[in-house]
Structure 1
Amino acid sequence: MNAQKIVTTVAAIAAGFAANKLISLVWKGVTGHEPPTGDADDGEISLGELVVFAAVSGAVVAFARTFATRTTGKWMSRGEIKKA
């Protein structure tokens, strides 16, 4: 398997995880409660709040993963890491 694909995939996963954690912290700071989890039993969340959280978190995670993938790809293509 190509080393660049492995490094790029790991970077995208790490960026998505970090973005998700950051969104959770910001959401809790802004709203004062935990972000929506998608549980059907969670009756304290309004539909509007759920939609806003889904849109914001999806956009931020997608941006973070795309940025990490592109940046890692450029970094690897410059030859800073020796190809196996």
Structure 2
Amino acid sequence: MRKKLAVANWKMNKTRTETQQFCQELRQALEQLHGTEVVICPPYTYLDLIAEQMGNTSVSWGGQNCFWEEQGAYTGEISPLMLRD
């Protein structure tokens, strides 16, 4: 049987406080969710919060946006190096 995969991002929604609340709700929901891999991709500015809140769960996370250049004068972009860091 194939494993289910649920991947979501939230575009330009949620504040840090709302992100913390979402993480609490997701942690509770995970207790009842079996057989599905969950991946969340928040805005870059919340990756540290997601790592802190979801680090000891089965949830994977990633950036919802990534520019293809590693460095340069690209206003507003997030590079792969920045995501990895």
Using structure 2 for the length normalisation, give the TM-score.
Answer: 0.26
Q: Which structure: greater helix fraction?
A: 1
Using structure 1 for the length normalisation, give the TM-score.
Answer: 0.26
Structure index of larger Rg: 1
Q: Which structure: greater strand fraction?
A: 2
